[in-house]
Every structure is written in structure tokens, then in C-alpha cells.
Amino acid sequence: MKHTSKQLGEIFLEKIKDMKYRENFNRHMKNTRIRLQDEFDQIWIKHNNNEATFEQWNKALDKWLNSERI
């Protein structure tokens, strides 16, 4: 099933709504978070172009958000 951009946006906002961010000044973790955010952005674009599945989109989002929680 193809999700619309609106549905993806709603899922995204729901997942980040109650997230608590921690400041981590570790350079390695900062670079990891940036890399995972970039990967998520690329997957979202691919999903919009029918080149990625919702499962890939959701997995990339979870990986990025989990890195933000560390």
C-alpha cells in the first residue's frame, strides 16, 4: 500500500511529538545522527518517487529517531 505524503507527515509528527532530546556533545554521535537523518531524507524522496517501500521509510525513521534519543 502506498502512503500519501500527508499520511507520512502525520506518522512522522506523531513519532516525534513526545520525543525527549538529549544533548550529546560526542562528535561521533553527532555525525551518526546527521548521517541517519540524511539517509531518512533520501528514503523519503525515494518513497515519493515509488522507489522505496513504507517499511524502508519507517525503518529509516526509527533508526534516525533512536539515534536522537541516545
Q: What gap in Å lies between CA 19 and CA 31, rounded to an integer?
A: 20
Domain presence at residue 36? yes
Higher pLDDT, 70 or 12: 12
Domain presence at residue 38? yes
The 3-class secondary structure across the chain, one letter per residue, is CCCCHHHHHHHHHHHHHCCCCCCCCCHHHHHHHHHHHHHHHHHHHHHHCCCCCHHHHHHHHHHHHHHHHC
Domain presence at residue 66? yes
Residue tagged 525503518 (cell numbers): 59
Over residues 26-37, the pLDDT tens digits come to 788 888 889 999
Confidence of residue 6 (pLDDT cuts 50, 70, 90): confident
What's the number of domains the chain is made of? 1
Q: What gap in Å lies between CA 35 and CA 28, rounded to an integer?
A: 11
Domain presence at residue 40? yes
Give the residue numbers spanning the domain of 65: 26-70
Over residues 39-69, the pLDDT tens digits come to 999 999 999 999 999 999 999 999 999 888 7
Domain presence at residue 12? no
Domain presence at residue 7? no
